[in-house]
Amino acid sequence: MAISLSSELLSQPQQWQLLLLLALVSLVLLKRRLSNKGLKLPPGPARAPILGNLHQLGVLPHRSLRDLAWKHGPVMQLQLGTVRTVVVSSAEAAREVMKTHDKDCCTRPVSPGMKRLSYGLKNVGFAPYGTYWHVMRKFFVVEIFGVRHVEAAWHARQHQVEKLMSTLSGFAGEPVALKEHILSLADGIIGMLAFGDMYNSDKFPHHKNLEHVLEEAIHMQASFSAEDYFPNIVGRLVDQITGLASRRERIFKQLDTLFEIIIEQHLDPQRVKPRNGDLVDRLIDLWKDNSSTLNITRDHLKGNIFRVQDEIRAVVGGNERVRPDDLAKMFYLKMVVKETLRLHPPAPMLLPREAMRDIRIGGYDVLAKTRIYMNVWAIGRDPATWTDDPEDFELTPFGAGRRICPTLSMSTATVEFTLANLLYNFEWALPEGIMVSMQEEGKVIPLLKTPLLLVPTPYRHI
């Protein structure tokens, strides 16, 4: 009987191949169960076949995951496709990840999309932990975003803020959508610091094109990529069918062309190099010796507005503009900025980390190769952390440890300086009959779904 059954299977290859596949899958599942025996893995919601918990992420993952954490705890394990994932939603657990076990989980998981757009993970933000990351991290912290260069960047900030003040003065008494003007300011500052004064001049007519392509790249990163959760031929095939792969390649080629133009302009021997140089100049210098965005959450500022204005105007006095050295005296302004970043962090989930070895977080075993997310949006709203002291600011909107955002000083200085000038030079009011909606949209960088409209009235300096 057994011989006849074997003969029948051998005569029908598809059947015995399926049988072999089932046997292999059973062995893999058995091995996984045995290897997890005795471990105290983090709790989490039940998983759906194939998808795991992907369907539970929702339109705004930071909110969906906060709701799941209320049910399953601040250290929660999910299965996103084939990727084992842990989500941390408490300050204590986040401290364990970013301080206690910082060295054990400071690498980045590989994202096929970012791997392509960053020229094989050459971007310091996405580079895996290792020698290259160490060298480039030190270069950016010291040579680009160090205190000395933050101070040297005041020229770019003042120039762009002057443009913004002039533009807003033309809207006196009329509603204005601040978002686009703030994004334009951020683009101008970053462009000047990265590419020099040519960025906003006739010498670089590709300015608007580069701005458009970079914005498209950010939107693409917010799109669902199957290969991020199924890093195999299945994920690649799905991304090809949906058109994401071809879209990614098109954006890469457009960026590559624009970057080549910028590099060639900087290599031109006839070009007059500025005294301090820009980002490209310093990268070229580094290259010859041997590549933040800034999201300004101004739309979210609310409450305490009059106290901030009183402080700013008392410090500045009768001067026409806020000076850089005035900021050191504006303590309440700094607290308002911190409170805004706590409630509305630029990146609610931060960039993911990956455990390089087995560790324990919150008393649970987190296995090597596990992807780790910090839900800083949920941490910033955790009643166990934030009690009745509104001025007790201990927050991590820019991350911490080895992977803390190197643009922290630059970003904070830009936000404070711009906000101080906006509040000093204008009185602000809502248009008649308009209410503020705090409903968000966007997965990577949530923004207000309904743009904030405000009416600026120029303030008469005494």
Q: Against a cut of 0.85, is the pTM above it?
A: no
pLDDT exceeds cutoff 80 at 75: yes
Residue 198: pLDDT band with limits 50, 70, 90: low
Q: What is the dihedral of CA 140, 95, 350, 75, to 10 degrees?
A: 150
How far, CA to CA in Å, does 42 sit from each of 17, 73, 252, 294, 367? 36, 9, 38, 34, 10
353-403: per-residue pLDDT in tens? 999 999 999 999 999 999 999 999 999 888 777 665 544 445 566 677 777
Q: At what angle do helices 408-425 and 178-195 cross, to 10 degrees?
A: 140
User: What's the pLDDT at 87?
Assistant: 97
Q: In what order do the strands lie in the sheet with 176-177?
A: 176-177, 453-458, 426-429
Give DSSP secondary structure letters for 285-339: HHHHH--------GGG--S-HHHHHHHHHHHHTT-SS--GGGGGG-HHHHHHHHH
Of 157, 94, 138, nearest to 350 by C-alpha is 94
**Look-up of token digits 């690498």:** 107
Nearest to 412 by CA among 197, 195, 157, 178: 157
Distance of CA 332 to the CA centre of its chain: 26
Count of residues in the chain: 462
Strand-pairing partners, residue 75, are 88
pLDDT at 289: 60
Query: What pLDDT does residue 213 have?
Result: 81
Residue 26 to residues 29, 30, 32, 166, 176: CA-CA distances in angstroms?
5, 6, 10, 69, 62
Please report which confidence band the pLDDT of residue 6 belongs to, taking 50, 70 and 90 as the band edges: very low
- Over the stretch 153-171, which tens digit does the pLDDT of each residue have? 777 788 888 888 889 888 8
To the question of whether residue 106 is assigned a binding role by annotation, the answer is no
Fold of 46-458: Cytochrome p450 (1.10.630)
CA dihedral in degrees (9, 11, 12, 13; nearest 10)?
90
Domain ranges in the chain are 46-458
pLDDT tens string 88-110: 999 899 999 999 999 999 899 98
Is pLDDT of 338 > 90? no
In tens, the pLDDT along 11-49 reads: 555 444 544 555 555 555 555 555 566 789 999 999 999
Mean pLDDT, range 242-267, rounded to an integer? 85
Measured CA to CA, the distance from residue 328 to residue 121 in angstroms comes to 38
Residue 105: Cβ-neighbour burial (10 angstroms; 0-12, 13-18, 19+):
buried
